[in-house]
Amino acid sequence: MNIEHKLEQLKSRYHELTTALSDPDAYSNQKKFASMSKEHSDLKEIIGLYEQWRKTGEEIEGARELIDAEDEGEMLDMAKEELAELENTLAELEKKIKMMLIPRDPEDSRNAIVEIRAGTGGDEAAIFAGDLFDMYRRFADSKGWKVEVMDLSGSSKGGFKEVVFMVRGNDIFASMKWESGVHRVQRVPETETQGRVHTSAATVAVLPEADEVDIKINPADLEFEAFRASGAGGQHVNTTDSAVRIRHKPSGIVVGCQEERSQHKNRDKAMVMLRTKLYEAELEAKRAERDANRKDQVSTGDRSAKIRTYNYPQGRITDHRINMTLYNLDEFMKGNIDEMIEALQMEDNLRKLQDIAATAELN
C-alpha cells in the first residue's frame, strides 16, 4: 500500500467521523463521543496537509505545462521560478505528512507512574535520586501537569532511597517514557572531604498508568497488610495503621502506599500501582518481541541500560542513546529538559521514517 492510498483511507475516516459527530445521538454515549472527537481532531491536521499536498501537485503540473508551452521570455522565467518554489513546498509537505504517519505508541496518551530508586553510591545516590525527583517535578510544573506522590522512603542524609509518583495531564507517557533507565552522576559529594569526584547512580522506571478495564484482578489473588506509616504526613499518619501494602500472589508483585492519612485512599493508590505494574508486565513481552526486530530503536524501556550521565565539574549532560551532550546542567536540573526529550523523540521518528520509506512512496 502506498502512502497516498493510506491518506485516502484516513480522509474517508475523517469524513465518516464528521458525519457521526454531527448526529445528535452521538452525545448519548459520552465515552464514545469523547473518543471519536479526539480521533477527529487528530486526523484534521494531516487531512489538511494532504489537501495542500494535492493542490500543490496540481499547481506543479500547471507550471510544467506553461514551461512546455513557452519557448523563452519573462513568462518562462517566472514559470520556472514558480515551479522551483512549488517543488520545495511539496517536499516540505511530504516531510510533514510522513512524520504524522509515524505509528503512535498507543500508551503515549496515558498518565505515567514514575519510580526513582537510589542505586550505587550510598547516601550520594539517594541525594541524586532526590535531585531527579525535583527535576521532574519542575518539568511537570512547567507543563501544567499534576504530580502526586504515591510512596517514598527517605534517606538520613537527604534525598530518597525510593520515591514513586504519578504524573497526570495530556500525553504524559509520550514525554516521560524516555527517562526510563540508569542515570549516572559525577560530582563531589557534600560528604567528600578531599574534593574527589565520585560516580553514583539512580534508576528511573516510567510506567503507563493502567485503567481497570486494562487489567482485571481477582480479589482472591491479593494479600493486604496495613501498617503504621513512617514518612511525611504528620503525627496522625504516624500513629495509625493507615499505610497499605498489597501483594499479588500469582506474580509476586508487592506495592505499597503511605502518603495519605486515610487507609482507604492509600489502598486505592496502591491498587493503581499494582494494575500498572501488571499492565507493564504484559507490555514488556510485546516490547521484547518488537525490540528483537528493531535493534537500532531508541530504548524507552530497558531499566538496566545506562542512558544518561550528569557531569557536574564540566556542567554537562550526555545522553548515551543518541550521543547528545548539552552544557546547561544547572538549567537542566531545574526541569528544562525539553531539548533532550525532543531530540530523543526526533531520533526515534527518523528511524521509524526509514521503515516507512522502505515500504512505501508518496506518489
In a domain, 360, yes or no: no
Residues 120 and 10 in one domain: no
pLDDT per position as a tens digit, 247-271:
999 999 999 888 778 888 888 888 8
Alpha-carbon distance of 307 to 211, in angstroms, equals 29
Neighbours of 302 (CB within 10 A): 15
Domain boundary among the residues 68, 101, 134 is at 101
Whole-angstrom CA distances from 225 to 46, 154, 158, 252, 336 are: 51, 21, 28, 15, 40
| Same-domain status, 178 and 209 | yes
- Per the structure, the count of domains in the chain is 2
Kindly state the average pLDDT of the residues 268-275.
88
> Is residue 153 located within the same domain as residue 252?
yes
pLDDT of residue 189: 87
In a domain? residue 106: no
User: Residue written as cell 478495564?
Assistant: 213
Task: Look up residue 105 and give its DSSP letter.
Answer: P
Per the structure, the complete domain to which residue 334 belongs is given by 112-349
Residue 245: inside a domain, yes or no? yes
23 φ, ψ to 5°? -80, 125
On whether both 184 and 279 belong to a single domain, the answer is yes
| 73 and 186 co-located in one domain | no
pLDDT digits (tens, 9 = 90+) for 309-345: 999 999 999 999 999 999 999 999 999 999 999 999 9
What residues are paired with 306 via a beta bridge?
Answer: 182
Contact criterion met (CB below 8 Å) for 233 and 257: no
Helix/strand/coil percent split, the chain, to 5: 50, 20, 30
130 with 211, same domain?
A: yes
User: What is the arrangement of strands in the sheet containing 222-227, beginning at the earlier edge strand?
Assistant: 222-227, 243-248, 253-257
211 part of a folded domain: yes
- Average pLDDT across the chain, whole number: 85
At residue 292, the pLDDT reads 55
Instruction: Write down the pTM of the prediction.
Output: 0.69
